[in-house]
Amino acid sequence: MDNIVALAKRRGFIFQSSEIYGGFNGFFDYGPLGSELKKNIRDCWWNDMVRRRDDIVGIETSIIMHPKVWEASGHVAGFSDPLVDCKVSKQRFRADQLFFSPVTVTGADGVAKIVGYVSALESEKTTADLQAAAETFKRKKAIVGTLAAVTPKDLTEATPEEIPLIPSPATGEPGSLTEARSFNMMFQTNVGAMTDGSSVAYLRPETAQGMFVDFKNVWDTGRVKLPFGIAQIGKSFRNEITPRNFIFRSREFEQMEMEYFIHEDADWSKCHQEWIEWCRQWLISVGLPESKLTLYAHKKEKLAFYSKGTTDIMFEYPFGVQELWGIAARGSYDLTQHANASGKPQEVFDEGTKKKFVPHVIEPAVGVDRILLAVLCAGYAEEDVKDDKGNVEKRTVLRLSPRIAPVKVAVLPLLKNKEALVGRAQALYKKLQRRYAVFFDDGGNIGKRYRRQDEIGTPWCVTIDFDTIEKPGDTFTLRERDSMAQRRITEVELFALLEEHVY
């Protein structure tokens, strides 16, 4: 992960926000290559989800909506995480990510006693960390006896008597943790000149509500009929207690969400399964390996009360298997809530049964930043390769799908000071540039130029060499990033290759 973060900074994919002021936790900037990559992910999704389908339309709604939207949706009352404070260090933790265990030792009398508590923040090896902490605790306190295996629980499960005994992960000492309390993750702002309670509004924590609130507008104007979907891409904001893992969980991020409205009597489960598979295939189409994708169906008893079923597509990040894309069957909850709160019915008329009903919805919701991180992680590799003289050297390569790679082709004249080579290269570059993101590089030896492109994920380099200008056929050397194989190609063939792979 450290190598990926370093590459992202070094090659201008991702920077810390406000870096010259020391950064701002949970906020990131996308540099020249990062913003291209992000745009390509967005465009692929929009093209596949909206433009290439007859049953889905796109919209773009405002980030700040009427505050009543968030009351009706349940976010004002319930969009919260359990928070715990450390009174000494002033650090805050998510209580469901702070684990603890009693340290239990059986003495010579055969009686098992709790001699203290240990804590650890959630990670891939929480239990091992707690066990190691328990062993250290026993050794430091010179306690004699047999140490029992730890029994991890998170802080929301701690009794009021246990809280003062659990060490803070910040200080290592007990006595400073507060009991868990609810922390609403919506960012508040004030709209208009007043700053009292009457002007409070929120930055949206999800794009989804825009689709529900505009459902009737689209229904009345969009020439749509069930089943159909409304999609949008946009920024969302959550005051995450513990933003972490680079851009995986941040406070400002971008979502791509689609609400697929179906008849109240439709087979929602079948539709849900179809969307799960569509999303999985889409992720594969932008280059994620199938072997790193798994499905996690939320347990029935843990579902939100309105949800009939939620399945997450999980991705194997270097820091663990984590949620990438959530696909939820939300019933008619949202439209019904907005109908009740606004007094505006959200029903449609069924010509067959001559009945009005509120449509149900299947919602695939994904974060652009999480996809971007996944493609960087899946694509990053360090390899030993041989140079022209047979010496082994390291190459860093980013195996990005041509669909999303920030640069599709690099155009390289073999020599900088040969006008005929540079002129032909410039002509090709200008022609490619009309349709694709391309890069012109005439600096340094050709091997180094290939390596620079490998590192930013450019699928192809074309070199304009002496054969191009001296031999018939006007061919270039095409060099492929992954295999490093080279072959000759004409301009027409190059455009055909791009047409096939960049869509």
Can you give the binding site for ligand GAP, defined by CB under 6 A? 206, 208, 238, 240, 249-250, 253, 255, 257, 323-326, 363, 365-367, 369-370
- Complex with ligand GAP: residue 323 or 467, whichever CB lies closer: 323
Tell me how far, at minimum, the Cβ of 293 lies from ligand GAP, in Å. Answer: 13
Tell me how far, at minimum, the Cβ of 297 lies from ligand GAP, in Å. Answer: 14
Enumerate residues 6+ apart whose C-beta is below 8 A from 418.
none
- Complex with ligand GAP: residue 204 or 479, whichever CB lies closer: 204
Tell me how far, at minimum, the Cβ of 295 lies from ligand GAP, in Å. Answer: 13
- Complex with ligand GAP: residue 27 or 440, whichever CB lies closer: 27
Distance CA 34, CA 208 (A): 25
Distance CA 500, CA 10 (A): 31
Tell me which DSSP letter residue 359 carries: P
Tell me which DSSP letter residue 408 carries: S
Residue closest to 468 by CA, chosen among 485, 450, 454, 489:
489
Amino acid identity of residue 502, one-letter, is: V
Tell me how far, at minimum, the Cβ of 5 lies from ligand GAP, in Å. Answer: 16
- Complex with ligand GAP: residue 276 or 478, whichever CB lies closer: 276
Residue closest to 165 by CA, chosen among 119, 224, 108:
119
DSSP string, 436-476: S-EEE--SS-HHHHHHHHHHHT--EEEEE-HHHHHSTT--E
CB 194 within 8 A of CB 54: no
CB 369 within 8 A of CB 317: no
Q: How far is CA 352 from the centre of its chain?
A: 42
Beta bridge partners of 315: 293, 322
Q: Which residue is nearest to ligand GAP (CB)?
A: 367
- Complex with ligand GAP: residue 367 or 459, whichever CB lies closer: 367
Tell me how far, at minimum, the Cβ of 381 lies from ligand GAP, in Å. Answer: 24
- Complex with ligand GAP: residue 249 or 403, whichever CB lies closer: 249
- Complex with ligand GAP: residue 137 or 212, whichever CB lies closer: 212
Tell me how far, at minimum, the Cβ of 174 lies from ligand GAP, in Å. Answer: 31
Tell me how far, at minimum, the Cβ of 170 lies from ligand GAP, in Å. Answer: 22
Tell me how far, at minimum, the Cβ of 102 lies from ligand GAP, in Å. Answer: 33
Distance CA 10, CA 158 (A): 44
C-alpha triplet 154, 158, 160: angle, nearest 5°: 155
- Complex with ligand GAP: residue 372 or 478, whichever CB lies closer: 372
Tokens of 458: 């450019």
- Complex with ligand GAP: residue 255 or 453, whichever CB lies closer: 255
DSSP string, 135-186: HHHHHHTT--SEEPPP--EEGGG--TTTGGGSBPTTTS-BS-BPPPEEEE-P
Tell me how far, at minimum, the Cβ of 359 lies from ligand GAP, in Å. Answer: 17
